[in-house]
Amino acid sequence: MSDVISHYINGKIMAGASGRRGDIYNPAIGEVIRQVDFADASEVQTAVDAAQAAFPGWAANPPLRRARVMFRMKELLERNIDALARLVSEEHGKTVEDAKGSITRGIEVVECACGIPHLLKGEFTEDVGTGVDSYSMRQPLGVVAGITPFNFPAMIPLWMSPIAMACGNTFILKPSEKDPSFAMRLAELYKEAGLPDGVFNVVHGDKDAVNGILSNPGIQAVSFVGATATAEYIYHTGVAHNKRVQALGGAKNHMVIMPDADMSQVTDAIMGAGYGSAGERCMAISVAVAVGDHVADDLVKRLMPRVQALKVGPGSDPDTEMGPLVSKVHYDKVMGYIDAGIREGAELALDGRELTLQGYENGYFMGGSIFDRVTTDMSIYKEEIFGPVLSVVRAPDYGTAAKMVSDHEYGNGAAIFTRDGDTARHFVNSTQTGMVGVNVPIPVPMAFHSFGGWKRSLFGDHHMHGPEGVRFYTKMKAVTSRWPGGIREGADFNIPTMG
């Protein structure tokens, strides 16, 4: 990997021209390992020009031919998954196995894109009127863009680009400047899979690059995943520039634990869903709502030794269960939330702030923390921490717990652990979240369904990948046809009817 990550435009690496760069850190050692060029609006325009030039030829390919590129891409990703996972781990900090899992979830969307000939099929009605047929088709938008977050540098680009390009669009990716190297390998693999030059492009950068994408009239749609404040900005700015936008924001995912739940299963679920990837997941469980004090007491008692025993270390160590946070800025932010929780009166049952690792003293490591007796007015309950910090909230009954979930401003995901079917069914049907798990802590839908939250977890009308992804990246055209033999003589000045 080069010491400087540059842009990828029209099938070639293109050095940055803006004169601005950012540092890329290995968070396990807290040191700069390479730099990345930052694009300005003119470099975004260069990528748009390449994508626009490539669009007519790519869109003219039958969907079956576009699918064949995706079949080859799937094979290439699977063949290179170990090296790709190490690259993600090096820049993000997550364990290599966790990185492999995230790439696998991305490959599932590539598999879904392989079925694009079926997904693009329209509808047909014969004889909507005498001798008149009507049918619909879905056609690509043109140039579309994806702006992706640091926590999933592989999975989210793979949730966006395969569906977008299989639908016939050309794509511009703006990855996080914190861990951009996977995006470059992705571009190289797409080319190896047979994707024509200009169909997939990568521009790096910060807010200047984002604004260049949002304001560029040649880009028809923008997909985003990241923090809620940024998602809201991207949605309103993109829409103001007449773009179609899906902007997935933050989350505060609750797990409701009923008195009849299997507590061993609950403990295992929280360990993985709360502390996996150091809590840097939009689907992480960050709030455990225990129904009854005895459930809460039992939960904290079970969790304490498990969290204390977490194997924290560099993501490259195969024994590591939790790696570092992504950056010093984010590390300080999470530490600040722990301080705030103490000030607000929550009970810090387990403090992960004092963790140090020999040989990695400059890395951004912290242990897992547990707050008990958290209340809904506290910042650690209301705001997304995005770190290895679990808040335990005590609810007197199911109704209080369920209302708590639905009243939160975020509506990304929620889970309930119970043996009771009536309770589970009520929770599934009534909770105001876009994704719900029953005895499943991280209810991320498979690629042939669609991913997305409600309320301030999603701005826009479409969820990501699956059928919703196809709808987002295409526009519908309705056709009504009649052939000369069925046309009557004379003009008709009334609104057409099909009698």
Which residues does the annotation mark as catalytic? Answer: 282
Render the burial of 233-258: b for 16+ CB within 10 Å, e for the rest. Answer: bbbebbbeeebbbbbbbbbbbbbbbb
User: With contact defined as beta carbons under 8 Å apart, do 177 and 204 qualify?
Assistant: yes
CA angle 69, 75, 77 (to 5 degrees): 100
CB 277 within 8 A of CB 98: yes
Contacts of 356 (CB under 8 A, 6+ apart): 365
Containing H/E element for 229?
helix 228-240
Inter-residue contact 23 to 32 (CB < 8 Å): yes
H or E, element range at 18? none
CA distance 115 to 131: 33
CB atoms near residue 264 (< 10 Å): 9
Q: Rounded to an integer, what distance in angstroms lies between the CA atom of residue 463 and that of residue 450? A: 6
The pair phi, psi for residue 239, each rounded to 5°, is -65, -35
Encoded amino acid at 470, one letter: V
Look up tokens 């502390």; give the residue.
Answer: 275
- 165 membership: H or E segment, kind and range: helix 155-166
Side-chain-side CA neighbours of residue 237 (13 Å) = 18
Contacts of 467 (CB under 8 A, 6+ apart): 119, 448, 449, 450
CA distance 169 to 142: 5
Instruction: Give, in degrees to the nearest 5, the angle at Cα 80 between 79 and 86.
Output: 145
- CA 213/CA 219 separation, integer angstroms: 7
* Amino acid letter, 144: V
**135 - beta bridge partners?**
124, 479
Amino acid at position 363, single letter: G
